[in-house]
Structure 1
Amino acid sequence: MTISPFDSAMLGNLFADAEIAALFTDDAQIASMVLFEAALASAEARAGVIPEASANRIADVCREFRPDPATLAAGTANAGVPVPALVKALKAEIGGDDARYVHFGATSQDVFDTGLVLRLRDAVAIIRRRTRKLIKALIAQAETHRATVMIGRTRSQQAVPTTFGLKAAGWLAPLVRIDHRIDTLCADLFRLSFGGAAGTLASIGDKAIEVERNLADELELPPTDMPWHSQRDVLVDFAAQLTALSGALGKMGQDLVLLAQSEIAEVQPGKGGGSSTMPHKSNPVQAEMLITLARFNAGQLGTFAQSQIHEHERSGASWLLEWLTLPQMIMATGAGLAQAVDMVPNLKVNADRMAANLELSRGAMLAEAATFALAEHLGRDEADKLVKDALARSAASQSNLFDELPKLTDVGIDWAKLRDPANYIGQADDYIERVVTTARRAIKDS
């Protein structure tokens, strides 16, 4: 096993996400930093801070400049960040007097953080695209199974009837809310990082604000009210939304693993995984992955949140902690979404098994319905006592609750209608309609 399963040749197809991973390679990171340096030179030339000819030379070299990441390794280890080594290599490539205008007035964190934001912009686009695709798939499941009655389970025990459509709506609703929160967060997340040595931009003098405005325009990243070198709350908020999204997927995965158990067998989720010794098994691998990735991100969030604690104007230690955690959290979220998008449209829902499982309690899961029906005639306390007596008789004789109830009372209740689980699903259809309507509106407006 490699240090990280995310970049393992053997485990990568299980944990990794090639589309997200491409944004967090050394080459992608270098490309984003080089883009910043080219944009900075252009922004400064527009403000008259550096010669236009030098900015053009820097831009021309940056278009093709892609140093081997290994050549930056020694400098990175020495400085604790790859930017000084990158700038040195870029200056050497440019040569002449123009080279002295590379990285003019900026600091390493400006380059690194803005490069991160540029890649986060692409990563969020991928995440939101997949989330909306999953939302559409769950809308379809919720609508298809509006009337597919199944047992509802609380604390892992049979409770009262529900529908698979409502269960799917329960997986859907959080995704809509989280997608909206991520969309709202983007206005704060996709911001320029540009503050110079200690967040004052003193090195650029009285043209600093103009350069900042030009740089924001070049990169299509608005500036913040002040440089955010040591203000990491938005990144922590983003990580929290990744965790919430993974958690929503994990909850769905956990439900599906339980519904796929041999003794329940109400849903078969996704592609079954085989066993090395038991050919009859079809393990719910995709659903299990959702659980694993959700738990991983939940653990990582606690670590990542500590990166918010900076000392004074900048912290090396807290900054490095982000590098260890955030890319993996994004990868886990992307991988979970990819698994879910592949799995949900192909869920095999066994309505016959759901109906059979509804009969396992011999009517006991409708005891609440019987109690409330009787209470209209007898009062709640007497109704409760009568139903408990009927449940005891049912358990003793292995009979159905609704065969025992008419023996204990002659009140005018349509027992045949009451014993049908489909008649005790409450407002399930209304709730499905609310969730689906909200979800449709959300993906239409996005």
Structure 2
Amino acid sequence: MTISPFDSALLGDLFSDPEIAALFDDKAQIASMLLVESALAAAEARAGVIPEQSAVRIAEVCRDFNPDPASLAAGTASAGVPVPALVKALKAEIGGEDARFAHFGATSQDVVDTALVLRLREAIGIIRRRIRKLAKSLGAHADAHRATVMIGRTRSQQAVPTTFGLKAAGWLAPLARIDRRIESLSSDLLRLSFGGAAGTLASIGAKAIDVESNLAEELDLPVADMPWHAQRDVLVDFASQLTALTGALGKMGQDLVLLAQSEIAEVQPGKGGGSSTMPHKSNPVQAEMLVTLARFNAGQLGVFSQSQLHDHERCGSSWLLEWLTLPQIIIAAGTALAQAVDMVPDLKINTNRMTENLELSRGAMLAEAATFALADHLGRDAADKLVKEAIAKSAANGSNLFDELPGLTDAPVDWAHVRSPANYVGQSDLFIDRVLGAAKRGFRE
């Protein structure tokens, strides 16, 4: 039995992201904490705080030590953190005089937070690689369909023409911005956490800063200005960017769900999911997943943000709240990206249906174009009044707006030009070029 769909054997293929999930399971957490313990011993030996031979022994054991997570469960429940139980088991494995130098001068949060940062570094690499892959696919659609005219819809109603290329560019544009923000915050997020009991490193004495510097080198992490046990703003910022990412993907997913409706049928996203009783159905499962995961992360972010409220120098309750929420936010973002990366290259764009749907309004979606064309000759108010009259006649007669307009005015308007949707897509081409240019520059850096 499972509590979360993310690690469910039944639902896992739908919700989970095995590559990112592997960074947050028990074994990965233990392995990363042991890596920190090994690096700490090496850093302290370099600074002359512990004997060199003890650091070598600690590193040997940490490299091969693979405790069963269940064996640490009781100690974790008692201490509220897995480090004391892990260190106790590690010391037993090391044995002898060397054991007393394991975890020397550190506190549990140093190990847990730094181990988290090591795994976040890998997760960010995966996420940003997927963003680039998705951006490439969306960019290809934007470029290929810059002249594919379709209905532009505002507030769910037909508005004026647009192009599928511009719609795809609209899905792409946020990805470049979010990727840039994730890159920018990474320098603050991926930092060593090392403060000792209350963030002063008093336990290590005069060589504390040497140990800090050595430890940062061992783990290839920058040093923070000060220990950040109770400063969780950058983690919240990271979670916020992942929520923005799933939101951007969810917006695309929702558009695709609507475009795939039987009555619209302009795009078929993904492979399609079947029905147990209706053989004709091809449900937009992957697009729906993007919407679901966006809504999930939006809710989780509100909970996770409360983990920023730490009491004084450290707070157990706020810290534990991170463990409940942050991994799920990351996995949800990873899953959404994986679904989008798989779905977008194979979107089936029904250009014929887009053309057919453009005719549904019998020219009404170009009423704005007609008004501005007439305004040059009649003035704005008179033009607006005349077009409204033509719309009423069109509705009464079941005719096209542009079959009525020439009978209501002798203004020298090129109605054949105005009635073509392709002639009223404005600066779509320029906007597509701007987005593609920004993505190319951003993802090249």
TM-score, normalised via structure 1 length = 0.99
Aligned amino acid, residue 80 of structure 1:
G
Task: Give distance in 2, aligned partners of 1:419 and 1:268.
Answer: 28
Cα deviations by residue, 1:161-207 (Å, 9 ceiling, x for unpaired): 00000000000000000000001111001100000000000000000
Which SS does the other structure have where 1:194 is aligned? coil
Partner of 1:381: 381
The Cα offsets for residues 296-329 of structure 1, whole Å up to 9 and x where unpaired, read as 0000000000000000000000000000000000
- Distance in 2, matches of 1:443 and 1:204, equals 43
The CA deviation at 1:223 is 1.0
Q: Deviations over 1:37-79 (max 9, x none)?
A: 0000000000000000101110111110110000000000000
Correspondence for 1:330: 330
> SS of the residue aligned with 2:22?
helix
Residue type at the aligned position of 1:39: A
1:5 is displaced (CA, Å) by: 0.2
Question: What is the rounded CA distance, in whole Å, between the counterparts of 1:387 and 1:268 in structure 2?
Answer: 36
SS in 1 for 2:160: strand
Q: Which residue of 1 aligns with 2:274?
A: 274
Give the structure 2 partner of residue 360 of structure 1.
Answer: 360
CA distance in 2, matches of 1:77, 1:225: 32
2:31 alignment partner in structure 1? 31
CA separation in 2, counterparts of 1:383 and 1:400?
18
Q: Tell me the residue number matched to 1:116.
A: 116
Partners of 1:348 and 1:61 lie apart in 2 by: 54
**1:147 matches 2:147:** yes
Q: Give distance in 1, aligned partners of 2:279 and 2:197.
A: 63
Matches within 5 A, 1:71-150: 71-150=71-150
1:263 corresponding residue in structure 2: 263
Partner letter of residue 156 of structure 2?
Answer: S
Task: Report the secondary structure of 2:23's partner residue.
Answer: helix
Q: Which residue of 1 aligns with 2:314?
A: 314
Task: Give the SS at the match of 1:410.
Answer: coil
Counterpart CA distance in 2 for 1:41 and 1:72 is 22
> Does the residue aligned with 2:151 lie in a helix, a strand or coil?
strand
- Give secondary structure in 2 for the equivalent of 1:23: coil
Q: Which amino acid aligns with 1:150?
A: M
Residue 2 of structure 1: how far off its partner (Å): 2.8
Residue number in structure 2 paired with 1:164: 164
| Aligned 1:218-229 pairs, distance under 5 A | 218-229=218-229
Letter aligned with residue 38 of structure 1: S
CA distance in 2, matches of 1:337, 1:142: 19
Alignment partners' CA distance in 1, 2:271 and 2:80? 44
Deviations 1:241-263 (A, max 9, x none): 00000000000000000000000
Q: How far is 1:413 from its partner?
A: 0.6
CA distance in 2 between counterparts of 1:273 and 1:121 reads: 35
- Separation of aligned partners in 1, 2:409 and 2:309: 68
**1:3 shift after superposition:** 1.0
Give, as a single letter, the amino acid of the residue that structure 2 aligns with 1:120: L
Distance 1:20 1:290 in 2: 17
- The match for 2:247 is 247
User: Matched residues in 2 for 1:442 and 1:234: separation?
Assistant: 22
- Partner Cα distance (1:165, 1:148) in 2: 7
Q: Measure, in 2, the Cα distance between the counterparts of 1:324 and 1:377.
A: 66
1:10 equivalent in alignment to 2:5: no
Cα deviations across residues 416-436 of structure 1 (Å, max 9, x unaligned)? 111000000000000000000
| One-letter code aligned to 1:126 | I
Provide the secondary structure at the position in 2 that maps to 1:24.
coil
**In the alignment, residue 341 of structure 1 is paired with which amino acid?**
V
Runs ≥4 in structure 1, deviation > 6 angstroms? none
| Counterpart Cα distance in 1 of 2:146 and 2:98 | 68
Deviations 1:224-277 (A, max 9, x none): 000000000000000000000000000000000000000000000001000001
Distance of 2:124 and 2:225 partners within structure 1: 23
Whether 2:197 is the aligned partner of 1:178: answer no
Alignment: residue pair count: 445
- SS of 1:44's partner is helix
RMSD: 0.5
Match of 2:59 in 1: 59
1:27 aligned partner, one-letter code: K
Q: Separation in 2 of the partners of 1:25 and 1:431?
A: 43
Aligned AA for 2:269?
P
Q: What amino acid is aligned across from residue 174 of structure 1 in structure 2?
A: P
Aligned AA for 1:438? A
Ranges in structure 1 where 5+ consecutive residues have no aligned partner = none
Report the AA paired with residue 341 of structure 2: V
Report the Cα offset of residue 382 of structure 1: 0.2
Q: 2-side partners of 1:185 and 1:386: how far apart?
A: 55
Please give the secondary structure, in 2, of the residue aligned with 1:281: coil
SS in structure 1 at match of 2:100? helix
Alpha-carbon distance between aligned partners in 2 of 1:388 and 1:84, rounded to the nearest angstrom = 77
Partner of 1:198: 198
TM-score computed with the length of structure 2 as normaliser: 1.00
What is the CA deviation profile of residues 375-400 of structure 1, one whole-angstrom value per residue up to 9, with x for unaligned ones?
A: 00000000000000000000000000
Give SS of 1:103's match: coil
Q: Distance in 2 between matches of 1:352 and 1:55?
A: 70
> C-alpha deviations, 1:335-394, integer Å up to 9, x for none?
000000000000000000000000000000000000000000000000000000000000
**1:95-128 CA-partner distances (Å, limit 9, x unpaired):** 0000000000000000000000000000000000
Matching residue of 1:419: 419
Letter of the 2:101 counterpart? Y
Deviating more after overlay: 3-12 vs 435-444: 435-444
Distance in structure 2 (CA, Å) of the matches to 1:428 and 1:222: 44
Alpha-carbon deviations, 1:135-186, whole Å to 9, x = none?
0000000001000000000000000000000000000000000000001111
- AA paired with 2:19? E
Alignment of 1:208-227 (within 5 A): 208-227=208-227
State the distance in 2 between where 1:411 and 1:203 align. 89
Q: Distance in 1 between matches of 2:66 and 2:60?
A: 12
